[in-house]
């Protein structure tokens, strides 16, 4: 699980869950997030955990509530991703021995999330922050802080973000949209992996 690419499968259904996860893992993307505002998200996460819990990092996105963290822990999920930096969600995630990736934009949010125990920072929306913003924030973050660009990033600008110091990426609609064929997702995943490997 060396590539720091998180596949964001917003809108995925339980029927699509395992075939899409199969395609991603086969392509070399082994970090998979199912946003909780997707249809029957916990069912999809459970199926993916059963199929790939040993060879992929499976978790949830758009996690806003501690109760959802507890449910994910009971299921055996590996990570919790949020659009915000809610300290109670971060603390609960770490107490449950899962990885925490809260959403941040400002230096104040970054440091608050790290103080609460975040494993990495989801810079969202990355398109608004830009690589110059990353460089500025990165200059004051503790050495070794993991940062992930989410929103408006893709193969065309991976190298630019890597040069600015990003750790990895969260990729949503450029990789998966509801109803997309498994073959299409597999093709997009292969392109993502090739661009990531070339830019890393």
Mean pLDDT in residue range 133-160: 97
**DSSP-derived 3-state class of residue 57:** strand
Residue pLDDT, tens place only, 6-41: 999 999 999 999 999 999 999 999 999 999 999 999
Q: What is the pLDDT of residue 2?
A: 78
Mean predicted confidence (pLDDT) in 100-110: 98
List, for residues 74-89, the tens digit of each pLDDT value. 999 999 999 999 999 9
The CATH number covering residue 11 comes to: 3.20.20.70
pTM of the model: 0.96
Q: What angle, rounded to 10 degrees, do the helices at 87-95 and 66-75 form?
A: 20
| Residues facing 151 on adjacent strands | none
Active site members: 33, 122
Range of the domain at 79: 5-199
Mean pLDDT computed over 101-123: 98
Q: Check whether 176 has a pLDDT greater than 70.
A: yes
Domain count for the chain, please give it: 1
**Strand ranges in 13-129 using DSSP code E only, listed in sequence order:** 31-35, 57-61, 79-81, 99-101, 103-104, 121-123
Mean pLDDT of the chain: 97
As a whole number of Å, the end-to-end CA separation of the chain is 15
Residue 44 pLDDT greater than 80, yes or no: yes
Measure the CA–CA gap between 159 and 166, rounded to whole angstroms. 10
């Amino acid at each position: 699980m060396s590539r720091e690419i998180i596949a964001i499968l917003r809108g995925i259904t339980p029927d699509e869950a395992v075939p899409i996860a199969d395609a991603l893992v086969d392509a070399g993307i082994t970090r998979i997030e199912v946003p909780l505002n997707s249809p029957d998200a916990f069912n999809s996460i459970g199926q993916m955990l059963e199929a790939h819990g040993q060879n992929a990092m499976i978790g949830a996105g758009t996690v806003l509530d501690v109760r959802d963290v507890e449910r994910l822990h009971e299921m055996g999920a590996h990570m919790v991703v949020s659009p915000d930096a809610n300290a109670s969600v971060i603390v609960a995630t770490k107490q449950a021995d899962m990885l925490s990736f809260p959403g941040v934009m400002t230096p104040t949010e970054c440091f608050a999330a790290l103080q609460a125990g975040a494993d990495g920072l989801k810079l969202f929306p990355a398109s608004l922050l830009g690589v110059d913003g990353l460089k500025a924030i990165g200059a004051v973050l503790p050495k070794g802080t993991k940062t992930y660009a989410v929103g408006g990033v893709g193969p065309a600008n991976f190298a630019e973000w890597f040069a600015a110091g990003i750790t990895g990426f969260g990729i949503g609609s450029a990789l998966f949209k509801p109803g997309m064929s498994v073959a299409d997702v597999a093709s997009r995943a292969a392109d993502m992996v090739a661009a990531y490997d070339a830019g890393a």
